[in-house]
Structure 1
Amino acid sequence: MYKLKDLIGDGSTTFISLLTTKWDEIHEAMDVFRYKIDKLEERIVDGSYLLQLNPDRQSKRRTPEEMNNIFQPFDEKKFNFNKVSPKEILFSIEDEGGNKHTVLINVSPVSRYHSLLCPYVDKCLPQVVTPESLDLAVQIMFLIEDRTVRIGFNSICAFASVNHLHYHFFVEKNILAVEKVKWQNFKEDVYLLDKSFPVPAFCFQVQRHSSTKTLWKVLEYFLKKSIAHNILMTKIRRIGGPEDVVNVIVWPRRNTNGAKKLAAFNVAVLELSGWFPIYDAESFKNLDAKGLEAELLKWVRDDFENICEELKCIL
């Protein structure tokens, strides 16, 4: 068990060095991961969209849980992160309040170092974002100096596959398409992605030791309205933006209830960010920007303008 405050960027043992070192060690054990992640074939489409060929993720991953309600209760009889093998645990951390949070490998990784943060893992919380877990994820982002690290969250009905509270760690050297997009002011310290991006989103700059209260107000609104959502946290600096911030992008999106899963990819937080793990070689070779954006557009909510108007009254 590590104290969270001890895993700072300039310490002898940092959060990301601990994660990557232990991940590499476990990756050498054939009986833990469902498949190996070495050098994935990739290509950049239209100078922005990152495609990576990973057919094993579709064919060898655990079957995702069927979920149709954004508030679906936790079910201890179904798979959850308290049932994983001890071999899957990278490490556990303890915050100042004595709460335990576990970092696991993702046994069916999107790419190298894809891992899971399971906040308050013993409390058996469903996959519903909470202000405490949000603060924890932001705090960890500030501990990590490496700007190639992102944290993602998929709500229920937004392609979350396990109904046990968790966030994703991703490591990717390429700057993602959404990280290059300009922001437009929405209200006070809340922004919107520029309309040049296919799927609209709300954007926030969280400064070190500052509150996530405004961010939480937006997410709380989504929860009250049962609006599915995806969240990306990144430290890639926006042009003209301050350096020491965590940029948080939140997409309200169409719910996935009854939606047919695609052969090539599903649209969750990575795809909305412009990073597409592709499941078949033909699609990987032939997909173009028009096709990718057409699929993203399918998840834009018809009531986004109404959401904006209601949020202006709340914020």
Structure 2
Amino acid sequence: MTEIAHFDSVDAYQEAFVSGLRVMLQGYDELGVFILVLANAMIDPETWDALSGPLQTKFARLSSFHAGSLDDAKDDRMVFQQLIAFGFDKLGPIRLREAGPWEVQFNPLRALRPARLIQQQVQGISAPFNPDEFHFAKPFLRKEIFWRGKLVGRDVSLLYNKFPFVQRLGLLVLEPREGRPQFLQRADHDYSWRLLDQLGRTLPGVGLGYNSFAAFASVNHLHFHLFIRDALLPIAADLWQHNGGGEPYPASCTRFTSSGAAWEYLQDLHGRKIPYNLVMYPGVLYVLPRLRQGERSIAPWSGGYGWYEMAGGCVPQGEQYFSRLTELQLADELRAVSVMP
């Protein structure tokens, strides 16, 4: 698991990404593995074409002896029961639509993910790492590692996201066995800039997302979300004032092209205990200060506003919301969860 060739091109990354999913599907009769592979296949039509056949075969196998023959986690059993009720034949790639400048997706697997931290009302913007809670160095997660090794000078693990919401999404965990909480230090911030500077040379569309503690980070273990999308996120569109356009972005958003200036801003947010979401492309960082989770009720159609939602995406909690959400509703929600720094 030390092949840097994974990062040589988008095609190489995609091939390795799908190959890893196929190996997991073939190697484990586990509900959690099946759900992870299914959710990742549904995000991308190319991946769905490659894996839908093996997924259907595994679904039939697991369904036949699911009731009492598998010792799986309670969350996985609940998700799988809902998939049985839904029916595999009704599954397929996620559906996307535009609502003005916003991106809306029907992603039924994402709506079924365990809540973990996102439904908790938390205090402050940091908490000590707790080795007894869920974290990314748990032994049972080793099979979910897409790549691990030394990348741009640091030891990292890149895990598959079990309930992804953008293409080729991985959980980039820095020195996972050190057990560091979800709180950025200067070295982590500077590393993210160096990492994207290097990856951006071979992986067009690569970026990082980050949810601070209290900003809908689901796990209190230092990690970024690494993605490679075919299209830019809405926050990166030319029409917004932060990108030189004429339209004000509904959420408070500051764009940085300097690592040093960005860190000064983040330090100020840390000092005032203001949570934030980050969206980063090579050489560009968007910082979005926002309300602490729990300070405001979550909209009935929303699973919570993390970096993807603050960047202009939305994963509604049901097909009826997917069809009906309007541009104005989405803009209003961004305003409501945002704070002026």
Q: TM-score range by the shorter chain?
A: 0.7 to 0.9
Instruction: Check the 8 A contact 2:105/2:314 in 1, yes or no.
Output: yes
In structure 1, stretches of 5+ residues that fail to align are: 186-190, 207-211, 236-245, 308-315
**Structure 1 residue 181 displacement after superposition:** 4.0
**Structure 1 residue 80 displacement after superposition:** 0.4
Amino acid at match of 1:25: S
Percent of matched pairs sharing the same residue: 23
Question: TM-score by structure 2 length?
Answer: 0.73
**Structure 1 residue 204 displacement after superposition:** 0.9
In the superposition, relative to structure 1, how do residues 192 and 12 fare at CA in structure 2: closer, same or farther (>3 Å)? Answer: closer
In the superposition, relative to structure 1, how do residues 215 and 183 fare at CA in structure 2: closer, same or farther (>3 Å)? Answer: farther
Which residue pairs with 2:288 in the alignment? 251
In the alignment, structure 1 residue 292 sits paired with structure 2 residue 330 = yes
Q: 1:260 aligns with which of 284, 297, 300?
A: 297
The higher radius of gyration belongs to 2
* Distance in 2 between residues matched to 1:201 and 1:18, nearest whole Å: 34
Deviation string, structure 1 residues 150-195 (Cα, Å, up to 9, x no partner): 210000111111000000022322332211145768xxxxx99966
Which residue pairs with 1:269 in the alignment? 307
Which residue pairs with 1:34 in the alignment? 35
Instruction: Check the 8 A contact 1:128/1:156 in 2, yes or no.
Output: yes
In the superposition, relative to structure 1, how do residues 93 and 18 fare at CA in structure 2: closer, same or farther (>3 Å)? Answer: farther
**Structure 1 residue 259 displacement after superposition:** 3.7
Instruction: Check the 8 A contact 1:193/1:201 in 2, yes or no.
Output: no
In the alignment, structure 1 residue 146 sits paired with structure 2 residue 203 = yes
Deviation string, structure 1 residues 203-256 (Cα, Å, up to 9, x no partner): 1114xxxxx222111111111111000000124xxxxxxxxxx21100111111
* Distance in 2 between residues matched to 1:95 and 1:87, nearest whole Å: 20
Q: 2:98 aligns with which of 44, 48, 52?
A: 44
Amino acid at match of 1:34: I
* Distance in 1 between residues matched to 2:266 and 2:244, nearest whole Å: 15
Instruction: Check the 8 A contact 1:68/1:156 in 2, yes or no.
Output: no
Deviation string, structure 1 residues 86-139 (Cα, Å, up to 9, x no partner): 111111131565x41111111111134211110121211100112222222222
Q: 1:281 aligns with which of 298, 311, 319?
A: 319
* Partner secondary structure for residue 250 of structure 1: strand
Instruction: Check the 8 A contact 1:192/1:200 in 2, yes or no.
Output: no
Deviation string, structure 1 residues 269-305 (Cα, Å, up to 9, x no partner): 111111212221001000110111111111121xx2x
* Distance in 2 between residues matched to 1:273 and 1:16, nearest whole Å: 23
* Distance in 1 between residues matched to 2:156 and 2:222, nearest whole Å: 11
Instruction: Check the 8 A contact 1:40/1:54 in 2, yes or no.
Output: yes
Q: 1:137 aligns with which of 192, 204, 207?
A: 192
**Structure 1 residue 54 displacement after superposition:** 0.8
Instruction: Check the 8 A contact 1:158/1:230 in 2, yes or no.
Output: yes
Which residue pairs with 1:22 in the alignment? 16
In the alignment, structure 1 residue 225 sits paired with structure 2 residue 225 = no
- The alignment of Structure 1 onto Structure 2 pairs a total of residues equal to 274
> Alignment RMSD, CA only?
2.6
In the superposition, relative to structure 1, how do residues 52 and 224 fare at CA in structure 2: closer, same or farther (>3 Å)? Answer: same
In the superposition, relative to structure 1, how do residues 150 and 256 fare at CA in structure 2: closer, same or farther (>3 Å)? Answer: same
Amino acid at match of 2:308: L
Higher helix share: 2
Which residue pairs with 1:69 in the alignment? 124
In structure 2, stretches of 5+ residues that fail to align are: 43-92
Question: TM-score by structure 1 length?
Answer: 0.78
Q: How does 1:1-315 map to 2 (within 5 A)?
A: 2=2, 7=4, 14=8, 19-28=13-22, 29-30=24-25, 31=30, 32=33, 34-35=35-36, 36=38, 37-38=41-42, 39-46=93-100, 48-59=101-112, 61-65=113-117, 66=120, 67-83=122-138, 84-95=140-151, 99-142=154-197, 143-144=199-200, 145-181=202-238, 196-206=248-258, 212-235=259-282, 246-265=283-302, 266-301=304-339, 304=340, 307=341
In the superposition, relative to structure 1, how do residues 22 and 259 fare at CA in structure 2: closer, same or farther (>3 Å)? Answer: farther
